[in-house]
Structure 1
Amino acid sequence: MTSPKYPKVVGYDLVQQIGGGGFSRVFRAVNVAEHRVAACKVITLTAETTDKERKTVEKEMRIHAALKHDNILEFLNAVVVELKHRAHYVPGIYMLLELAAGGDLFDKIAPDWRIFYFNQLIAGMDYIHKEGVCHRDLKPENLLLDVAGTLKISDFGLSSVFKLKDTGRTRTLTERCGSLPYVAPELNSDQPYEAEPIDVWGVGVILYTLLAGNTPWDEPTQHSPEFMRYLSGEIFQELPWSRFSGEALSLVQGLLTIDPRERFTLEDAFQHPWCSRPSQLAKQGSASLAEALTQSLRSSGDLELASPDFSQRNPSKDDEDEIMLSAAHSTQFTQTLMLFSQTQSGTRYTPHLTRFYAGIPPDQLFPLVGEDLSALGVTCREAPPGEGGALRLRIGGQDARKEVFRGWVQLESFEYRGAQGAFCVMQKDSGNPISWRQLWRALIQSPHVGAHVLRKAGGA
């Protein structure tokens, strides 16, 4: 008897898990006949799944499907596999979405792109609010890039309708939700709250994160020393606040005004001098945009660590799925950003920048990775081997802002100077992409693993 498999979703086959965990997984899906690639979010259905949980997902799909904008990840279709079919297929709700082939915005952001992408964020959020929807979960992992390098707002699982478009009638909201570093302070009360200012606050935290590389506090309460210093004004004499330009600081403070009645609106942000300065990047072609986006990664050496050129050869095109990926995403932007892994099982597209090569084989590197990650406070659990016998660790923990992260570390073989080396990929399921890259950097600089990382093309 064969085990249940994932169904074909409106012509798309689920070929590789690229994110998620627990009751929700995200797969890369390919439509062979139409030469198309998409993402498929699978929410598992079990006998314990309640009607309330199903209605929450249905609401997410209704809201997301109705939103059509350049800066919103497109909802394509959905199918449901009920429990009665579990003998043949994995029961679940299958949401087919646009594939954000450019990956996490915060995985690749360079300083010169802050205004360019912040304006796209405001444009997308302005549209969402005009459609009567409040997102309520703005954070770095929900901001992605498409094949052309355009920002895409994703994940409407916590969104809510607060305004009827035909009458303009609005309502306050009561549900407490969101991630603590990004939620507005009025959610600390048990009183109903206005919808739009909640998202404006989230936009403000995102802007600070674009400028500083981290969130401003753990949570907007008296339990956070940083937030209390923000209230008193002391924090403006400290780094990184003290190095913000006057215009940038003015905008951040306007968006992060405590009283929601006095807080900036999105229109205020649109008209602010920091946002109204013309961006030269917007006038460049996609190849130039991608070069500019990755400049800081090349300067820091991160791009060379993630994708050293060992052979001076172009990536193999033998794999049909790889050909489809390239054909479906043949923009100059993604050609520049595409990262191909060179392993014993072949050359293929691996979009994660959190990766490195080592000069010792996987079975020798594997215990060192576990030891150094554990020393960094990360929980590690050995997992069954992956495709091609790849060694895998399931990892998780909390970052410096107390946000939970989960993911995988996978080690594969590749040939290095006539001997066996190891290719290591750290794949995030959940958590802040900034924290994930910080963990990657800590690992490649750790005592045992760091000694074996190949730090330049063709050398150690």
Structure 2
Amino acid sequence: MGKENFPVVHGFRLMNEIGGGGFSVVYRAVNFEEKITAACKVVSLTRETTPGERESLEKEIKVQSGLKHPNVLEFMHGLIVSADDDNKEEGFYPAVYMVLELAGGGDLFDKIEPEKGVETDVAHHYFRQLALGLEYLHQNGVCHRDLKPENILLSSAGVLKISDFGLCGVFALVGPNGKRRTRLLSERCGSYPYMAPELIGTEPYEAEPIDIWGIGVILYALLSGNTPWEKADRTSSEYTRYLAGEIFNLEPWCHFERDALGLITGMLTPDPAERMTMQDIFHHPWILRENELTQRGAVCVAEALTQNLRSTGALDIATPPSLAPLARTDRDGDQIMLTAMAYSQFTQTLMLFSQTAAGQRYTPGWTRFYANVPPSELQDLVLTALKARGVKHKILAESGTGSAVRQRIRIGGYDTRRLMYRGLIEFEAFDAPSVGVRGGTFCVMTREKGNPISWRQIWKNLIISPSVEPVVLRKPERA
């Protein structure tokens, strides 16, 4: 989407793009009168949009608008502008507009080191929140059906939020007599590494067990920094070894604590009738264990969450080298953005605010770096690295104005689990005279689609490539 004529959605004006891509783009949305910042998901509507696609979007709005829980991303407002002739005279871009709570902490899994994961206390802290959110969904008859890392977000206070209800299904309703009526689901949907075996089949399935399988894969990913297999069927050698019990002597399975392993395998039981229930999960010893981290506050959680990334030096690359903090700006509502919603002890500890020539920029991901060469030169070096690794790419038109002009490359492909990824690499001018950097570049890699852990691996491969590594700025080592 380019510079479109967007409507004001219940007092919220759409500002800059902060995520998504293709037919679904997420914008920062500001209600200046109420001094509230949110996110607005914009899903394009065209004459080619099918009735089924339209119905799915309307279902997403209806379901999510009725959900209110600390661990579920809140739906605030919705608006539909049709693509028919009656709306052309208003000139608004035809789309479904969904104003959502802003997840100021970004993706949970963006902060996780590939192939390492997080420490047990961090995994426990966030998995328990995930389980509480899922329990609430199931109590309200909603099956998510697409639980995966890219749909697990963090608020600016560091609270886990389940997001994206585009594939959800309603499996239970409460009748006039107060009796709960349930039904089987039949639609095949989701992403293969997170899909339960019964979803890959053809028979109708019970709703709750497939979500429990999904959070089982997520717990594995939290503790290991990867997914256990490409697909839960016998075409996957890893899954076949899992069924045969041959995988438990291999990494990372052999390093899991006994209770953690028991919980993971209980949720990843192939037979849905034998799989753990939510009640089983909340009574499991690993869940019931004491966790001091949860009591120590947001700063301690943020530090523990990123401990493995810090130990690998990723933080020294993602943050600027010994720069004096810049003043916050209020251009286009940025002051509201920084203070009211995203600027918190948690996000400060995560260093989600980067310095650029245009001022302080909110960058909720750590897939970023600074270089000591100009944007055009860095773009050429990055293109060399992408070509060397066979990454598909396309140079896009520049965006922004003045000191905030950004050169852009879109990249895409498939990760090691054969999941599609897509995203932007942006290059913006950057100067730091205090440390001898003039004519440098701030580079941000923004994921639009795909696994956040895989996207971090792509970032890692780029910054260690022979063409890019020599120009990457790192925080000086302390004497």
Q: TM-score, normalised by structure 2?
A: 0.92
Secondary structure (helix, strand or coil) at the match of 2:439 reads strand
Find the aligned partners of 1:222 and 1:246 in 2 and give their Cα distance: 26
- The aligned amino acid for 1:11 is G
Q: Which amino acid aligns with 2:103?
A: A
Contact 1:315–1:340 (8 Å) recurs in 2: no
The question of 1:50 aligning with 2:40 is answered no
**Structure 2 counterparts to residues 436-451 of structure 1, below 5 A:** 436-451=455-470
Query: Do 2:320 and 2:354's aligned partners in 1 also have CA atoms closer than 8 Å?
Result: no
1:386 aligns with 2:405: no
The answer to whether 1:116 aligns with 2:125 is: yes
Count of matched residue pairs: 458
User: What is the CA-CA distance between 1:320 and the residue it aligns to?
Assistant: 5.5
Structure 1 counterpart of 2:257, from 235, 245, 248: 245
Residue 8 (1) aligns with residue 21 (2): no
Return the offset for 1:245.
Answer: 1.4
Q: Which of the numbers 155, 158, 162 marks the counterpart of 1:146?
A: 155
Shift of 1:58: 0.5
| Contact map agreement 1:251 1:269 (CA 8 A) in 2 | yes
- For residue 222 of structure 1, report the CA deviation from its aligned partner: 1.4
Distance 2:204 2:359 in 1: 56
Corresponding residue to 2:431 among 404, 415, 422: 415
Q: Can you list the C-alpha shifts for 1:203-228, whole angstroms capped at 9, x where unaligned?
A: 11111111111000000111111111
Give the CA RMSD over aligned residues.
1.8
Match of 1:339 in 2: 352
Secondary structure, aligned partner of 1:385: strand
Change (3 A) 1:3 1:381: closer
Q: In structure 1, how many angstroms separate the alpha carbons of the residues matched to 2:231 and 2:312?
A: 31
SS in 2 for 1:229: helix
* CA offset digits 1:96-152 (Å, max 9, x no partner): 000000000111244231001011111110110010111100000000000111100
Determine if contact 1:377/1:397 at 8 Å carries over to the other structure.
no
Task: State how far apart, in whole Å, the 2-side matches of 1:360 and 1:419 are.
Answer: 8
1:270 matched residue in structure 2: 282
In 2: Cα distance, 1:99 partner to 1:4 partner: 22
What CA deviation, in whole Å up to 9, does each residue of 1:231-278 have, x standing for no partner?
111111111111111111111111000111101111111111111101
Matched letter for residue 340 of structure 1: F
CA change 1:103–1:251 in 2 (3 A) is same
1:188 aligns with 2:206: no
Partners in 2 of 1:191 and 1:49 — Cα distance? Answer: 29
CA distance in 2, matches of 1:339, 1:440: 17
* Alignment match of 1:99 (pick from 102, 119, 126): 102
**Gap change, CA 1:207 and 1:458, over 3 Å in 2:** closer
Q: For structure 1, list consecutive stretches of 5 or more residues without a partner in the other structure.
A: none
C-alpha contact (below 8 Å) 1:4/1:86 kept by paired residues: no
Counterpart amino acid of residue 153 in structure 1: I
Q: Is residue 2:150 matched to residue 1:136? A: no
Q: 1:354-433 maps to which residues of 2 (within 5 A)?
A: 354-388=367-401, 389-416=405-432, 417=436, 419-433=438-452
- Quote the offset at 1:3 in angstroms: 7.3
Match of 1:411, SS state, is strand
Alignment check: 8 A CA contact 1:17 1:27 kept: yes
The answer (yes or no) to whether the contact 2:330–2:336 under 8 Å persists in 1 is no
Equivalent position SS for 2:180: coil
Secondary structure of the 2:370 match is: strand
Report % sequence identity.
52
Amino acid at match of 1:262: E
TM-score, normalised to structure 1, is 0.96
Are the aligned partners of 2:329 and 2:359 in contact in 1 as well (CA < 8 Å)? no
Deviation at 1:318, TM superposition (A): 5.3
**Distance of 2:350 and 2:3 partners within structure 1:** 37
Q: Distance in 2 between matches of 1:117 and 1:174?
A: 30
**CA pair 343-335 structure 1, distance change in 2 beyond 3 A:** closer
Q: Aligned to 2:366, what secondary structure does the other structure show? A: coil
Which digits, 9 at most, give the CA deviation of each residue in 1:37-86, with x for residues without a partner?
10100010111112211111001111111111110000001011122334
Cα displacement (A) at 1:325: 1.3
Which residue number in structure 2 is paired with residue 324 of structure 1?
336
Secondary structure of the structure 2 residue equivalent to 1:250? helix
> How far apart are the structure 1 equivalents of 2:269 and 2:282?
17
Q: How far is the alpha carbon of 1:4 from its aligned partner?
A: 4.3
Match of 1:70 in 2: 70
> Residue deviations 1:151-208, cap 9 Å, x none?
0000111101111134211111111100000000112221111111111110111111
Amino acid at match of 1:233: G
Matched, 1:258 2:284: no
Q: Does the 8 Å CA contact 2:322/2:475 hold for their aligned counterparts?
A: no
Secondary structure of residue in 2 paired with 1:127: helix
Shift of 1:22: 1.6
Q: Deviations over 1:271-318 (max 9, x none)?
A: 111111011111112233333333333332222211124432344435
Distance 1:21 1:418, change over 3 A: closer
Deviates more, 1:94-103 or 1:365-374: 365-374
CA contact (8 A) 1:309 1:458 kept: no
Q: Quote the offset at 1:348 in angstroms.
A: 2.2
